[in-house]
């Protein structure tokens, strides 16, 4: 209950983003389920929610990563390199995903079997990407907080010794 009070800023972000990943994947599967039931109108509504959720999530991540990369002392060079690699490796996929969602959330777009097949592929690829992100990049964010705390404790010991 009180554990979230003691989380670092990065840990809170990781928790928030992990929750958003879960919501995004749930929405994708709801869209697929509604399409499978021939409830195309409901699938389109859910697809719009999915589009907004992804845009919000990616935009927030980009802003935070940009700030981290500009932070001269808060993030190690190794972590900055990892963040830059992540951003670069996801760039093309993100653009393709945004194009796909933009196209299929238009009022006049028709959800057909090709849409369904592509969205199934997107769900698989996105889940892999989320797993990679959570088990690699997010771990760096969590660990950078632990390193900061360790360094603060060491600095306090040094100051006390004088």
pLDDT digits (tens, 9 = 90+) for 27-40: 999 999 999 999 99
Residue 146 within a domain: yes
Residue 78 within a domain: yes
pLDDT digits (tens, 9 = 90+) for 114-127: 999 999 999 999 99
Residue 101 within a domain: yes
Which range, of 35-39, 76-80, 133-137, averages the lowest pLDDT? 76-80
Residue 4 within a domain: no
CB 101 within 8 A of CB 47: yes
The DSSP code sequence of 98-154 is HHHHHHHTSTT----HHHHHHHHHHHHHHHHHHHHIIIIIHHHHHHHHHHHHHHHHH
From 141, 126, 160, select the one nearest 50 (Cα to Cα). Answer: 126
Residue 63 within a domain: yes
Residue 22 within a domain: yes
Residue 118 within a domain: yes
First to last CA, the chain: 40
What residue numbers bound the domain in which 116 lies?
Answer: 10-155
Mean pLDDT of the chain: 85
User: In this model, does residue 25 exceed pLDDT 90?
Assistant: yes
Residue 3 within a domain: no
User: In this model, does residue 41 exceed pLDDT 60?
Assistant: yes
From 57, 55, 78, 80, select the one nearest 67 (Cα to Cα). Answer: 80
User: In this model, does residue 21 exceed pLDDT 90?
Assistant: yes
Give how many domains the chain has, as a whole number: 1
| Residue-level pLDDT at 6 | 57
């Amino acid at each position: 209950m009180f554990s979230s009070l003691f989380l670092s800023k990065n840990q809170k972000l990781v928790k928030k983003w992990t929750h958003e990943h879960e919501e995004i994947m749930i929405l994708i599967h709801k869209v697929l389920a509604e399409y499978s039931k021939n409830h195309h109108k409901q699938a389109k509504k859910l697809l719009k929610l999915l589009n907004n959720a992804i845009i919000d999530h990616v935009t927030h991540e980009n802003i935070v990563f940009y700030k981290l990369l500009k932070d001269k002392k808060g993030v190690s060079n190794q972590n900055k390199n990892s963040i830059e690699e992540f951003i670069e490796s996801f760039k093309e996929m993100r653009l393709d995903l945004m194009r796909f969602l933009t196209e299929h959330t238009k009022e006049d777009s028709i959800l057909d079997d090709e849409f369904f097949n592509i969205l199934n592929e997107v769900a698989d690829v996105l889940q892999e990407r989320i797993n990679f992100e959570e088990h690699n990049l997010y771990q760096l964010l969590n660990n950078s907080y632990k390193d900061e705390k360790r360094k603060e404790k060491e600095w306090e010991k040094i100051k006390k010794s004088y």
